[in-house]
Amino acid sequence: MKRLNQFTLDLTVAILDFLYRGRDYPRFWVLEEIARAPYFAFLSVLHFRESMGLRGPEHLYLMKQHFEQSVNETEHLEYMESRGGNSYWIDRFVAKHLVLIYYWVNVVYYWVAPRYAYHLSYEVEVHAASTYAKFLAYNGHDDKILEILNDELHHSKELHDAMEMI
Ligand SMILES: [Fe+2]
Ligand SMILES: [Fe+2]
């Protein structure tokens, strides 16, 4: 399952890198738009499990964490918008359709295999951090991108911990 996660991520990244080569901020905007979806999906499933009387000991901790992560990803998204990442209709069209599919994939995945769903998002966060690190290496220092890079590393650690917990 982890290999399937890695394969899916590598394929998606290869397609996005091809489509968005030379257009860093639109690519970051699309990635941030997609990166938020799993956190909404995790929250949706946790709410549903709670309503079904399936609240485990780690439940509240995970809900708080995923809510904070989703807010933090929205802050990243707003920053990319301030840099013109969503200026074109086609980028918004691509991102909004991908996010619709990715949200539902994550709802089902998290419901049936939460550890593997966390693993997929963990890999996405690691990829996001390395994407921003490459950007800094090519374009020089940027305080905001460095802050976002550190947020992504923080998310990856939280997801890793969640994987061990659930
Ligand atoms: Fe982000
Ligand atoms: Fe993140």
Tokens of 155: 């998310």
- 3-46 pLDDT, tens digit per residue, is 887 888 888 878 888 888 889 999 999 999 998 999 999 999 99
Residue that is written with structure tokens 């998002």 in the block: 121
Q: 72-117: per-residue pLDDT in tens?
A: 999 999 999 999 999 999 999 989 999 999 999 999 999 999 999 9
pTM of the model: 0.91
Which positions ≥6 away from 44 have C-beta within 8 Å?
107
Instruction: Please state the domain extents for the chain.
Output: 2-165
* Residues around the ion ligand 1 (C-beta < 5 A): 32, 73, 76
Cα 113 to ligand 1 centroid, rounded to whole Å? 23
Q: What separation in Å is there between the alpha carbon of 69 and the centre of ligand 2?
A: 7
How does DSSP classify residue 140? Answer: -
Tell me the ligand closest to 73's alpha carbon.
1
Q: Which CATH superfamily is domain 2-165 in?
A: Alternative oxidase (1.20.1260.140)
For residue 137, pLDDT over 90 is answered with: yes
**pLDDT value of position 32:** 94
Q: Mean pLDDT in the chain?
A: 93
